[in-house]
Amino acid sequence: MPQRHTVTPARRPAWACLLLLGALSGCASAPAPATPPAPAAAPADATLADAAQRMAVDLASQLGAGAARSVVVDPMIDRTTGQQTELSQRVQGALVPALGAALKDATLLPLDATNEAKARFVLTGTVSLAAAPDGYLVNIALTDRPSGLVVAQSAGRFKGAGGSVAPTRFYNDSPSLVRDRSVDGYVRTAETRKGNAADALYVSQLPTAAILADALDAYNAGRWEVALAAYNSVAARADGQQLRTFNGIYLANVRLGRLADAETAFGRIAALGLATNNLSVKLLFRPNSATEFWPGRDLAGMYPMWLRQIARAMQANGACLDVVGHTSKSGTEALNERLSRARAETVRRLLVAERAALAARLQASGMGFRETIIGTGSDDAADALDRRVEFKVTTCPG
């Protein structure tokens, strides 16, 4: 069975400190359920293979026997971040063969521009950390596209998978986080119970998602021109105005050495992020430093351009913002409180240096590690969301 996204991600240094800038990451779109559906009578100590087999049989029993049918598999994602990860790939790699065996009258195909139109059904799935140490929770759903209804849904737990939750290449390289309303729709669909409506936006955007899947494959394979052409074709579509699209255009242009076009694309990331209150841009700092950026080889010279475009977007947007710093769960609480505030202050100062008029519209504060999202304290790409600075819209003074 063909599988997607098996490229090993290019890793950032594990010891580098990652700062994320954002505007209430994901807040502008309707959030996914706070807690995903729990599996029924699934042992918490099951292996991934056992959990995949159990969910596949459950899905097949709900769907029942029928005529030959085609199913496209929209690649599974991490529930919390909306990214594809090494672990989500590993889980998908276990589930698809199990489903192929259980759904004997079905043909499972990877989602792409060729297969999308052939399939009546689409499979979605999420992976998230469970309460038990080294435990994970999986939700999968099968949606009937003509009716928009979820016709089968299952959840399972497993312990230990031998895979990292670090993001795959595109998500690791992207200058901004890509979780937006479209990604939230995917998550909600994967967790929707049988007989209920899948997320309408997610279902309607499947043709565009298929082109994005092709673009993602091309980028992960290092075929920059092909990736750029696919991302540009998505940008021309009415429903293609997504963070994934403009991150892809930016990255492909950077890889091709077309920096002016890359800057234009980053400007669109900044403008879209602020317009939807959902901008999170990655900046690497030296360890334990609040003022010195890490001069990574792939990122050298890019930060001034990022800050320039963010400042321009902020000036055009007209909002007043609170720059709120966050850190991961490593080191002392007092140290992280100071570090988060100092990094937020650094970002504020640099933005004001780009556009002096922003000074009256920006303030800075720090949360330390009190609002972690991942909470592992691994200080690598896996818990990048915990090391962020959010741009929170506030009421302008006066």
Whole-number pLDDT of residue 337: 93
Is 278 part of any domain? no
Is 182 part of any domain? yes
Cα separation, 259 vs 157, in Å, equals 45
Is 206 part of any domain? no
Q: In this structure, what CATH number is given to the domain that contains residue 99?
A: 3.40.50
Whole-number pLDDT of residue 35: 66
Across 176-185, 244-253, 295-304, 388-397, least confident range: 295-304
| DSSP character string of 96-138 | HHHHHHH-TTEEEEE-STTTGGG-SEEEEEEEEE-SSTTEEEE
Which amino acid is present at 351? Answer: L
Residue 23 has pLDDT above 60, yes or no: no
Whose tokens are 């435990």? That residue is: 135
Whose tokens are 């087999």? That residue is: 53
Residue of 42 and 290 predicted with greater confidence: 290
* CB contact at 8 A, 56 and 50: no
Is 97 part of any domain? yes
Where do the H-state alpha helices sit in the chain? Answer: 48-63, 86-102, 169-173, 181-190, 200-204, 206-220, 224-235, 243-255, 259-275, 303-317, 333-354
Is 388 part of any domain? no
Is 349 part of any domain? no
The 10 Å Cβ neighbour count of residue 118 is 11
Whole-number pLDDT of residue 280: 78
| DSSP character string of 196-247 | SBPPHHHHHTHHHHHHHHHHHHHHHTT-HHHHHHHHHHHHTSGGG-SHHHHH
Phi-psi region of 352 (alpha: psi -120 to 50; beta: other; left: phi over 0): alpha
For the chain, give the mean pLDDT: 84
Whole-number pLDDT of residue 208: 98
What pLDDT band is residue 31 in, cutting at 50, 70 and 90?
very low
Is 98 part of any domain? yes
The number of distinct structural domains making up the chain is 1
pTM attached to this predicted model: 0.85
Is 14 part of any domain? no
pLDDT digits (tens, 9 = 90+) for 305-350: 998 999 999 899 898 888 888 888 888 899 989 988 998 999 999 9
Whole-number pLDDT of residue 52: 96
β-bridge partners, 140: 125, 154
pLDDT digits (tens, 9 = 90+) for 191-216: 999 999 999 999 999 999 999 999 99
Question: What is the extent of the structural domain holding 73?
Answer: 28-199
Cα separation, 171 vs 382, in Å, equals 11
**Strands 135-144 and 389-394, sheet pairing:** unpaired
Whole-number pLDDT of residue 130: 78
